[in-house]
Amino acid sequence: MKIFIKIAYLFIVITVPINQSLGQEDPWRLFDKRHMGGNEIAELTNTAESSIDNSDYSEKVYPELSIYCEEDNPNISIKINWKRYISSFNRTEIGISLDSKNYSWLSFNLDKTGQISFQNPGTHSNELINKFKKITKLAVEIEPYSEPPINVYFNLSGFASHLEKLKSICSQ
């Protein structure tokens, strides 16, 4: 029995620091897409902290916030891949709350699949991106067609430094 307690203690001593460091993982991923043949040059992504229901497939999905740039366009854009159907309409309203403040509602386009909401380069993206540099929490609300609203949250810690790396790739 004493050996079991010692092994359990050793397991806890080893795994607790690992789990604590995982909780501090950088939420941002930067992708250099210059040599991938698409229109995007670079993309900075952040996965939502919690999942949402994908009613089409009875599964949980994690939406993804992306900040990106495209060829022949100096502006940086924003898109959210909801990874589930939102609407068949071309446009939708999305609520944005910065650091738990009131929601501001902005118009976003939807792609042909109805899953990805995006802003045209330069619309409100530059203003919104500048606000992202000053906050650590972003709440986003969208109301899918004929469904109750969905809320997702993104950890924006470290955004400003990653944005500079993105801008560096985009300007080359």
- CA-to-CA separations, 113 to 18, 72, 116, 118, 150, in angstroms, rounded: 39, 25, 7, 12, 18
Instruction: For residues 16-21, give the mean pLDDT.
Output: 38
Q: What's the mean per-residue pLDDT of the chain?
A: 84
If 0-12 CB within 10 Å is exposed, 13-18 middle and 19+ buried, where does residue 51 land?
Answer: middle
Q: pLDDT value at position 37?
A: 85
Q: What is the pLDDT confidence band of residue 145, given thresholds at 50, 70 and 90?
A: confident
Q: pLDDT value at position 122?
A: 61
Is-above-0.75 flag for pTM? yes
Phi, psi of 5 (to 5 degrees): -65, -40
Which domains are delineated in the chain? Answer: 27-170 (2.60.40.1880)
Q: Determine which of 19-28, 49-58, 83-92, 97-106 has the lowest per-residue pLDDT on average.
A: 19-28
Distance, in Å, from the CA atom of 96 to the CA atom of 71, rounded to the nearest integer, reads 27
Q: pLDDT value at position 118?
A: 92
Between 11 and 127, the more confident residue is 127
Q: pLDDT value at position 16?
A: 36
3-state secondary structure of 147: coil
pLDDT value at 4 more than 80: no
| Chain segment 32-79, per-residue pLDDT in tens | 998 898 889 999 999 999 999 987 778 999 999 999 999 888 789 999
The tokens for 6 are: 């010692």
CB 159 within 8 A of CB 132: yes
CB 141 within 8 A of CB 135: no
Distance, in Å, from the CA atom of 73 to the CA atom of 169, rounded to the nearest integer, reads 13
Q: Determine which of 13-17, 54-58, 129-133, 164-168 has the lowest per-residue pLDDT on average.
A: 13-17
Edge to edge, the sheet with strand 76-81 lists 28-32, 40-47, 64-70, 76-81, 116-118, 104-110, 91-98, 137-142, 150-155
CB 30 within 8 A of CB 42: yes
Query: What's CA 90's distance to the chain center, in Å?
Result: 21
